[in-house]
Amino acid sequence: MVDYPLTGLILVVPVSFAVFITSALFPGPAERILRLVRSAGR
């Protein structure tokens, strides 16, 4: 098991929470961004 520093966790949690809130409030743009990311991966 990798022991991540607490500072990394402190940075990751608010960012992921903000992404979740943004996608909940604005489903259209988030869906478009996800579609762009998926198409870029092909």
The pLDDT tens digits of the residues spanning 17-27 come to: 888 888 778 77
As a 3-state breakdown, the chain gives helix, strand, coil percent values, each rounded to 5, of: 80, 0, 20
The token pair that represents 34 in the structure block:
């996800």
pLDDT (tens digit per residue) in 1-42: 566 678 777 888 888 888 888 877 877 777 787 788 888 766
Confidence at residue 4, expressed as pLDDT on a 0 to 100 scale: 66
Measured CA to CA, the distance from residue 33 to residue 9 in angstroms comes to: 25
Residue 16: phi and psi, rounded to 5, are -65, -35
Confidence at residue 41, expressed as pLDDT on a 0 to 100 scale: 66
Confidence at residue 42, expressed as pLDDT on a 0 to 100 scale: 60
Burial of 23 (0-12, 13-18, 19+ CB in 10 A): middle
Q: Is the pTM of this model over 0.85?
A: no
